[in-house]
Structure 1
Amino acid sequence: MFRTSTFNSASLSRRSVVGLGALGAVGLAAALAGCGSSTGEKAAPGAAGSDTPSYYPADYSKLIDASKAEGGALAIYSNTDQENWAPILRDFKAKYPWTKVSADNLDSDEVFQRQLSESATGKAPADMLVSNAVQAWASYASKPDSLMAYDSPETKELPELAQLMPNVWAMSLDPVGIAYNSALMKEAPTSIADLAKTVSADTGKYKNKITTRDVKGAWGFSVSHAFTEGNTAAWTGLDEILPTARPETSSGTQKEKILSGEYLAGFFISSAVGYPAEKASGGLIKFVLPKDGTVVLGRGIGITPKAPHPATAKLFLDFVLSEAGQNAVAEGGLSSYRENVELTEGRHTYQEVEKLAGKDGIIRVPYKVVPEAEVTAFVSKWNAKLGN
């Protein structure tokens, strides 16, 4: 049923969803490039600094000095919650004390709409964009001069999947799962098919009590479309679930309504919300990865073409991709993907997702634009199945 993918410490291959525009097979069956022992090595004295890895440019200190001259301010437009950002911003400031980062939490589509509208006026205050709305990112980044060209020294230390598009990297690789109220649903739905079986056994109980993401938004479309492309039996289960479901525009709203009991469960919930919600609720909300296909989205990060603080933006990007940055990413509830991330309680990684979902159960979503006609047809089909 699935196209295969493997990911381990020795080798990596990517399971690609076909049909998302001209995706092609972004094949990865090569050894991990540059994940060797140099990650933890320090620069020679007098190079870029005593705490800078040896593989950084010898003149990296000039970038640090330029950030100081900029004043260290940094503005990020993102669709990422503050609880996810907190450890990243804390550790970045600890490393570069003169910096001050502002990370807005916008809707998935708003990240790019705001950047484009402000750029049109000639006043674009954002230095960086961060979002896991694949369709919106791919559409934005495919335009000329939409991003600043930068060759991060961390890139060669990362697996190939870290580069989502030219000048767009994965800050995290976040799975999409099922969240449910454990006080109201005694048995965990282990897959979309399993949830469909539960719903069809008691449609009266579950009518308007299931939530999913609005597919008219870029994020909701990306995950829903990817699941149907990556699982040949997807519509069998969805045909049972969707008549009982109501769409929401954010995982945060879904979380709150599942917690209150307005919804019993939700599917295609971002782990960036699901993992922290499970911890914060003391297990009242449970978050599981569907065994019949777990969609994984890269949370893209890139520097705007006319960033007011380009040096600080480059420092921030390098930090996020570094071993220290990826540890902070995991601490904040996102799923890091770099080797040597400390796996303490509450931290999650792509490798863990593969273990839980199964190596053949991961559906990765390449950053490619889906043709508008295909989007329209999918949205119409999906919404026609939703209940009133």
Structure 2
Amino acid sequence: MIARILLSLVLLTSPASAQEAVARFGNGEAPFTIRSTTDIAILRPALEAFAERRPDLAITYEQWGSSALHVNESGACDGDVPSADVVLSSAVHLMVSLVNRGCARPYVSDLTRALPANRRWRDEIWGVTQEPAVMIYNTDSISGEDVPLSRFELLDLMRQRPDLLYGRIATYDIEASGLGYLFAYVDSLEATTFGSLLEGLARTDAIATCCSAEIIEGVSKGDYLIAYNVLGSYVENASPPNVGTILPQDYTLFLSRGYMIPEDAANPTAAEEFLDFILSEQGQAILVSVGLIYSNDPAEDGVIQSARRSVPLALPLLVALDATTERQFLARWTAAFEQVSAP
């Protein structure tokens, strides 16, 4: 029998508690707490299936923003707030920093060993999804040759159609979104177009906002015509009929959400079992069905192998968190906007 789900989408206003929503799964008595940046609606099928396998558990799933989750789990690592049993986040540079601080428990199984080297680090963090960073566009307003299939074509469109795009391109606010900062930082390392792209976004008065759902809805409504660096899984789950998705042909970043078992987890056994479940054949099939794993077949997703760029779970990600690097990067972002916007 499918486990009964007690779901409460409660927006919390207390500054000491920054969950965006909370859901409860199962009727058991053993507490099991997951803190995650993944929308409840997306991960629900996996949580339901795991609750069926472990009817003794009372699963609490807390949905957080990536930056707030990092602050909370840093506090948990220091013993200031209660620890979760699982932390699952798309802001993997922040996750690597927690592991590097000694905040995680190690675990090894046949399934974790089978992961590629760039999706596991120190047997303390594991990449459990494969999600591209995509461009999206409003198909009612942009079509045919105007659809930019690469960053180069996006630059051309911004230069050729500034009247069309002014104030109608969206991207993540890299100061508010840990994921947005990560994507922008990796872009700065990968793309020869980064400087020009930054200036183009500024010149067209691009909108920086925090959240995938807000960006996707804005594109669907026509408030924005194009959005850059949106996580593809959220687009696939929203499935708006008038929003097209582009996996950039120059290169497409693929992100694996980081899974960590905190050192002070109260129920580490359940955390290990949940990790193995989502890495199992059944779990991976569920993640495919909800869009958290994209195909590795170029015939299906249109991205040739040489254009794929994985964000590795590894120590070099900490460079993005170096105080001087972060300050200089944010200053470069801000200065480009100010320079173009100045009279």
- Report if aligned partners of 2:107, 2:123 keep a CA contact under 8 Å in 1: no
Q: Is 1:311 paired with 2:261? A: no
User: How far 1:203 moved relative to its partner?
Assistant: 0.9
Shift in CA distance, 210/126, structure 1 to aligned 2, threshold 3 Å: same
Match among 310, 313, 328 for residue 364 of structure 1:
310
| Partners of 2:95 and 2:48 in 1: CA distance | 26
Question: Following the alignment from structure 1 to structure 2, what is the Cα–Cα distance between the partners of residues 274 and 364?
Answer: 19
Q: CA deviation at 1:78?
A: 0.9
Cα deviation, residue 113, structure 1: 0.9
Query: 5 Å matches for 1:286-297?
Result: 286-297=244-255
Aligned-residue offset at 1:363: 2.0
* Structure 1 length-normalised TM: 0.73
Q: Which residue of 2 aligns with 1:180?
A: 137
2:107 paired residue number:
150
**Bigger relative CO (Cα 8 Å, ≥ 6 apart):** 1
The amino acid across from 1:116 in the alignment is: S
Residue 356 to residue 316, structure 1, CA distance change in 2 (3 Å):
same
Aligned to 1:203: 162
Aligned pairs for 1:8-27 within 5 A:
none
Query: 2:217 is matched with which residue?
Result: 256
Is 1:167 the equivalent of 2:124? yes
**Displacement of 1:128 after TM fit?**
0.7
Question: Could you tell me which residue of structure 2 aligns to residue 300 of structure 1?
Answer: 258
Return 5+ residue gaps in structure 2 as ranges.
Answer: 1-27
Native 8 Å contact 2:77 2:263 kept in 1: no
Secondary structure of the structure 2 residue equivalent to 1:357: coil
Correspondence for 1:113 among 56, 65, 71: 71
Match of 2:192 in 1: 232
Which whole-Å CA distance do the structure 1 matches of 2:209 and 2:330 have between them?
14
Alpha-carbon distance between aligned partners in 1 of 2:124 and 2:201, rounded to the nearest angstrom: 39
> How much identity, in percent, do the aligned residues show?
23
Q: Establish whether residue 222 from structure 1 lines up as the match of residue 215 from structure 2.
A: no
Measure, in 2, the Cα distance between the counterparts of 1:257 and 1:72: 41
CA RMSD of aligned residues (A): 2.3
Residue 230 of structure 1, CA deviation? 1.4
Greater shift in the superposed pair: 228-237 or 257-266: 228-237
State how 1:118-129 maps to structure 2 within 5 Å: 118-129=76-87
Cα distance change, pair 352–170 in 1 and its aligned pair in 2 (3 A)? farther
Question: What is the one-letter code of the residue matched to 2:183?
Answer: V
- Higher helix share goes to which structure? 2
Unaligned runs of 5+ in 1: 1-69, 336-347
Q: Return the match for 1:320 from 265, 278, 285.
A: 278
Decide which moves more: 178-187 or 261-270: 178-187
Q: Distance in 1 between matches of 2:191 and 2:221?
A: 31
Between the aligned partners of 2:334 and 2:260, the Cα distance in structure 1 is 33
Q: Structure 1 CA distance, aligned partners of 2:301 and 2:215?
A: 26
